[in-house]
């Protein structure tokens, strides 16, 4: 099968927002090409079967991004281009740019097609096939979340992973000693790739997956809730946190671009939470939050 490749060159700060729109519109894969562009820009690639209506899809993408600009969520110029590629090129496109990622001193993410042996004592290796799900370990939001997890995790924690995507954060939590993990994902098609990644890491029986929005599908409370999502998804999540968080629990929120940080902190304050730790990389921030009443 031949595919239409849709490429959007955009500011790095718009990466998550544009990638999310492409996934929601039903593309057959999303790739991020950070290293091919300047430090302040990036490119997002998506794939559409060549027998589908390309003009209709491009019009839908253009309309969505235009609306996001009007509403103030998308800043800076972007450019959309298309080209047709053959099926073999599409199938191996990931391999051209996605390689071993040493996210922290102890955690390494390896694409499932690449041979790799641990090089350090205690190294945790997580194998991924991202498919059309989000979360390869290459983007700063995921790297910040993994670093925050390393700092926050204690043995036998109950963890909720909201918007799990590829499942990378659930797999990190499992590797760091979580007792139970429940993960949600709104895009049901992405869950097929999540399931594959759990199987690659022998974790299918240890991580419960739910198709649904935010924390809605989950009953009970967690010691740690983590969410790597865009600010417009984090904002409706924040009011759900208190009900789903155990006493002395922690919340890790990432995916927060600098200009949206005040909105997130204001919403946390209104919900009774305070950030006890902020990790930053470039324009991105990751917050570790606790209830105000439980902070000494």
pLDDT confidence band for 36 (50 / 70 / 90) = very low
Identify whether residues 149 and 284 lie together within a single domain.
yes
pLDDT tens per residue across span 9-19: 888 778 777 87
Tell me which residue of 75, 168, 162 sits closest to 129, measured CA to CA. Answer: 168
Q: Residue 202 class from Cβ within 10 Å (0-12 exposed, 13-18 middle, 19+ buried)?
A: exposed
Identify whether residues 30 and 82 lie together within a single domain.
yes
d(C-alpha 135, C-alpha 168), whole Å: 6
Residue 41 lies in a domain: yes
CATH of the domain at 40: 3.30.70.120
d(C-alpha 78, C-alpha 126), whole Å: 33
pLDDT tens per residue across span 175-188: 999 999 999 988 77
Residue 116 lies in a domain: no
Report field, pTM of the whole predicted structure over 0.85 = no
Cβ atoms of residues 278 and 286 within 8 Å: yes
Identify whether residues 47 and 163 lie together within a single domain.
no
Q: What are the phi and psi torsion angles at 289 (to 5°)?
A: -120, 150
**pLDDT average, residue stretch 141-151:** 91
Tell me which residue of 236, 234, 250, 229 sits closest to 295, measured CA to CA. Answer: 250
Q: What pLDDT does 141 receive?
A: 83
b/e burial code for range 231-240 (CB count within 10 A of at least 16 → b): bebbbebbeb
């Amino acid at each position: 099968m031949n595919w239409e490749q849709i490429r959007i060159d955009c500011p790095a700060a718009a990466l998550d927002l544009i990638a999310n729109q492409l996934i929601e519109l039903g593309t057959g894969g999303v790739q991020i090409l950070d290293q091919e562009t300047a430090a302040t820009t990036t490119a997002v690639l998506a794939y559409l079967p060549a027998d589908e209506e390309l003009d209709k899809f491009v019009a839908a993408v253009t309309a969505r991004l235009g609306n996001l600009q009007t509403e103030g969520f998308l800043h800076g110029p972007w450019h959309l281009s298309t080209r047709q590629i053959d099926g073999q090129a599409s199938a191996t496109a990931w391999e051209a740019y996605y390689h071993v990622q040493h996210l922290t001193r102890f955690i390494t993410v390896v694409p499932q097609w690449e041979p790799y042996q641990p090089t350090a004592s205690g190294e945790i290796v997580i194998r991924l096939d991202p498919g059309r799900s989000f979360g390869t370990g290459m983007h700063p939001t995921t790297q910040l979340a993994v670093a925050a997890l390393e700092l926050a995790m204690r043995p036998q924690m109950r963890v909720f992973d909201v918007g799990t995507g590829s499942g990378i954060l659930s797999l990190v939590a499992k590797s760091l000693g979580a007792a139970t993990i429940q993960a949600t994902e709104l895009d049901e098609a992405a869950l097929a790739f999540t399931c594959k990644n759990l199987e690659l890491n022998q974790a299918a029986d240890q991580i419960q997956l739910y198709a649904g929005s935010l924390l809605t599908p989950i009953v009970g409370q967690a010691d740690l809730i983590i969410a790597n999502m865009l600010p417009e998804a984090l904002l409706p999540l924040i009011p759900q946190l208190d009900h789903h968080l155990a006493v002395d629990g922690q919340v890790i929120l990432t995916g927060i671009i600098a200009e949206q940080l005040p909105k997130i902190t204001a919403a946390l304050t209104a919900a009774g939470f305070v950030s006890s730790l902020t990790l930053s990389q470039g324009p991105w921030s990751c917050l570790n939050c606790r209830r105000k009443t439980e902070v000494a």
